[in-house]
C-alpha cells in the first residue's frame, strides 16, 4: 500500500542522477574507479585506511566473519534486538549466535551482560549501533581484548555517528555500513566494510570477488569466495551522496528535533535520547516507545491506525531470538527480558531528510488520535484486561 507519508524516502538530487548516468556512458560498470573513490570516501569518514565495497550490509557482515576465520563450533555474541542480518551472517558460517540483552535507553548491548556470555569458544562480538546510537565501545573493546575476542561493529544504521570523538565503524577490528534506500546514505543496495587491518581488507577483497586474491587472474580462485561486488553504478551514487553527508546528517537531526518538540506534549510516548555525551548520534530512524503500561497489542493497534491513514510506520525490531529460525539457539529467554519489553512497544515514525513541518505535525496529530481511540476502546474492558498485561 502506497503511503501518503512514507516511513522513509531516499534523498536523490539531480547531481546524484547525473553521477549515475555518467557511469552508464562508460564501458566500466563493475570494479572500476567509482568503487575506489567510494571506498576511500567511506574509509576516510570512518577514520580508517581501508574500505571494501560490497553488495549489501549483510554481505559485509558475512565477509567480516569469513575473513576473521569464524566457522563451525565458534560462538559469536550479538544483541537479539536488531535486524536479522547479523544473526544470519553467523549462521551462514555455521557458528553459534549467543544473544545478549540490551540496555533500555541506548538499546545497544548491555555492558554488564557481555562478559558472562564469553566462553572458550567465543570468537567475536558483533556490536550494533542501534538506530544510529553509538554503543559504549571503550568497555566493550576492553572486555574483547581481555578475552582475545574480535569486535565487529554493525554500523549499518550509524554512518557519521561519533563515539568519544571517533567515528563508529572504525573502532573495532572491522565495521560495516549499509546503503539500502532507507539509510542516510544510499546506493540503492550496497554496503561497505571498513578496517585498519590491511590483511583483513585484502582477504575481504578476495572473498567478495569469487576468492580471487590480488594478482590472481579472472579464472584463478585462491579462496572460497562470493560475488559480493558493488557495481560502478551503485558506487557512483554512493560517491555523490557521500559529498553531501554533513548536509544530510544535519537535515535528519533537524527533523528529529522537530519531532521531539512536538512529541513532548504526548505523555504516553517516550522519545529516543536526543544527544550523547562526547559523541554524535546518526539519525537513521525516529523510533519512539510507548509508556510501560502499553502492550504489544496496543502498539500494533496504533501502527495499524497510522497505516490505515496513509502514514508509514515500522515495528522495529522483532527480536531475533523469537524468530522460528533461531529457536534452536535460545535456551534462556529470561536473559532477554529488556529486548522483549522494548520490542513490544517500539514504533518507528516516518523519517527522512525532506520530511516537512506539516507532515511531522500530521504524524503527531494522528498518533495522538490513535492513542485516544485505543485508550477509549480499552476503558470498557479495563477490569477484564488491564493495560500493561500482554495477552499474547
Ligand atoms: C543493523 C543492521 N544490520 C545489517 C543490515 C543489513 O543491511 P542490508 O540490508 O544492506 O543487507 C541492516 C539493514 O537494514 C541493519 O539495519
pLDDT confidence of residue 389: 34
CA–CA gap between residue 347 and residue 59 (Å, rounded): 27
Residue from 53, 85, 190 to probe ligand 1 pocket by mutation (most atoms less than 8 Å from CB): 85
pLDDT confidence of residue 377: 80
Report the nearest atom of ligand 1 relative to the CA of 191: 10
With cut-offs at 50, 70 and 90, classify the pLDDT of residue 387: very low
Find out whether the beta carbon of 178 lies less than 6 Å from any atom of ligand 1. yes
369, HSE (Cβ side, Cα atoms, 13 Å): 12
Q: Could you tell me if 60 and 264 are in contact, meaning their C-beta atoms sit under 8 angstroms apart?
A: no
Of residues 91 and 388, the one with the higher pLDDT is 91
Report the nearest-CA residue for atom 8 of ligand 1.
57
pLDDT confidence of residue 333: 61
Report the nearest atom of ligand 1 relative to the CA of 128: 1
Q: Degrees (nearest 5) of the Cα angle 280, 276, 151?
A: 75
Active site positions, annotated: 183
pLDDT confidence of residue 1: 78
- Mean pLDDT, to the nearest integer, of 214-233? 97
- Mean pLDDT, to the nearest integer, of 86-108? 97
Find out whether the beta carbon of 126 lies less than 6 Å from any atom of ligand 1. no
Burial class (CB in 10 A: 0-12, 13-18, 19+), 208: buried
131, HSE (Cβ side, Cα atoms, 13 Å): 26
Find out whether the beta carbon of 191 lies less than 6 Å from any atom of ligand 1. yes
Convert the pLDDT of each residue in 138-168 to its tens digit: 999 999 999 999 999 999 999 999 999 999 9
CA–CA gap between residue 335 and residue 352 (Å, rounded): 34
Find out whether the beta carbon of 187 lies less than 6 Å from any atom of ligand 1. no
CA–CA gap between residue 73 and residue 101 (Å, rounded): 22
CA–CA gap between residue 159 and residue 384 (Å, rounded): 47
CA 29–ligand 1 middle distance (angstroms): 24
CA 375–ligand 1 middle distance (angstroms): 35
Q: DSSP strand E in 129-225: where?
A: 150-154, 162-163, 166-167, 174-178, 191-195
CA–CA gap between residue 372 and residue 366 (Å, rounded): 10
pLDDT confidence of residue 357: 97
Q: Cell numbers of 64, please?
A: 567480516
Report the nearest atom of ligand 1 relative to the CA of 180: 10
pLDDT confidence of residue 158: 98
CA–CA gap between residue 358 and residue 371 (Å, rounded): 20
With cut-offs at 50, 70 and 90, classify the pLDDT of residue 382: very low
CA 58–ligand 1 middle distance (angstroms): 6
Q: Could you tell me if 307 and 283 are in contact, meaning their C-beta atoms sit under 8 angstroms apart?
A: no
For cell 550509524, the residue is 158
Find out whether the beta carbon of 82 lies less than 6 Å from any atom of ligand 1. yes
β partners of residue 152? 126, 174
Amino acid at each position: 500500500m502506497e503511503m501518503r507519508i512514507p516511513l522513509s524516502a531516499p534523498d536523490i538530487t539531480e547531481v546524484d542522477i547525473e553521477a549515475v548516468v555518467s557511469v552508464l556512458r562508460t564501458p566500466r560498470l563493475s570494479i572500476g574507479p567509482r568503487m575506489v573513490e567510494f571506498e576511500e570516501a567511506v574509509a576516510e569518514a570512518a577514520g580508517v585506511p581501508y574500505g571494501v565495497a560490497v553488495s549489501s550490509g549483510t554481505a559485509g557482515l558475512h565477509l567480516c566473519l569469513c575473513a576473521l576465520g569464524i566457522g563451525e563450533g565458534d560462538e559469536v555474541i550479538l544483541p537479539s534486538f536488531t535486524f536479522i542480518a547479523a544473526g544470519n551472517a553467523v549462521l551462514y558460517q555455521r557458528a553459534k549466535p549467543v544473544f545478549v540483552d540490551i540496555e533500555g535507553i541506548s538499546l545497544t548491548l548491555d555492558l554488564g551482560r557481555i562478559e558472562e556470555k564469553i566462553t572458550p569458544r567465543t570468537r567475536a562480538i558483533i556490536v550494533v549501533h542501534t538506530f544510529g546510537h553509538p554503543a559504549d565501545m571503550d568497555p566493550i573493546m576492553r572486555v574483547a581484548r581481555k578475552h582475545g575476542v574480535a569486535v565487529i561493529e554493525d554500523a549499518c544504521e550509524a554512518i557519521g555517528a561519533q563515539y568519544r570523538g571517533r567515528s563508529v565503524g572504525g573502532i573495532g577490528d572491522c565495521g560495516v555500513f549499509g546503503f539500502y534506500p532507507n539509510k542516510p546514505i544510499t546506493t540503492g543496495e550496497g554496503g561497505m566494510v571498513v578496517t585498519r587491518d590491511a590483511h583483513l581488507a585484502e582477504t575481504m577483497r578476495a572473498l567478495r570477488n569469487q576468492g580471487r586474491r590480488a594478482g590472481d587472474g579472472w579464472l584463478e580462485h585462491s579462496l572460497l569466495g562470493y560475488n559480493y561486488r558493488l557495481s560502478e553504478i551503485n558506487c557512483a551514487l554512493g560517491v555523490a551522496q557521500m559529498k553531501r553527508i554533513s548536509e544530510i546528517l544535519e537535515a535528519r537531526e533537524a527533523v528529529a528535533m522537530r519531532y521531539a518538540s512536538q512529541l513532548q506534549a504526548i505523555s504516553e510516548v517516550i522519545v529516543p535520547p536526543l544527544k550523547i555525551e562526547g559523541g554524535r548520534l546518526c539519525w537513521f530512524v525516529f523510533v519512539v516507545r510507548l509508556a510501560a503500561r502499553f502492550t504489544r497489542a496496543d502498539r500494533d493497534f496504533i501502527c495499524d491506525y497510522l497505516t490505515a491513514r496513509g502514514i508509514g510506520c515500522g515495528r522495529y525490531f522483532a527480536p531475533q531470538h523469537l524468530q522460528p529460525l533461531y529457536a534452536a539457539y535460545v535456551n534462556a529467554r529470561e536473559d532477554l527480558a529488556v529486548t522483549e519489553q522494548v520490542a513490544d512497544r517500539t514504533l518507528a515514525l516516518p523519517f527522512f531528510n525532506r520530511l516537512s513541518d506539516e507532515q511531522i505535525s500530521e504524524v503527531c496529530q494522528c498518533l495522538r488520535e490513535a492513542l485516544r481511540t485505543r485508550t477509549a476502546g480499552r476503558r470498557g474492558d479495563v477490569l477484564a484486561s488491564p493495560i500493561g498485561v500482554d495477552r499474547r
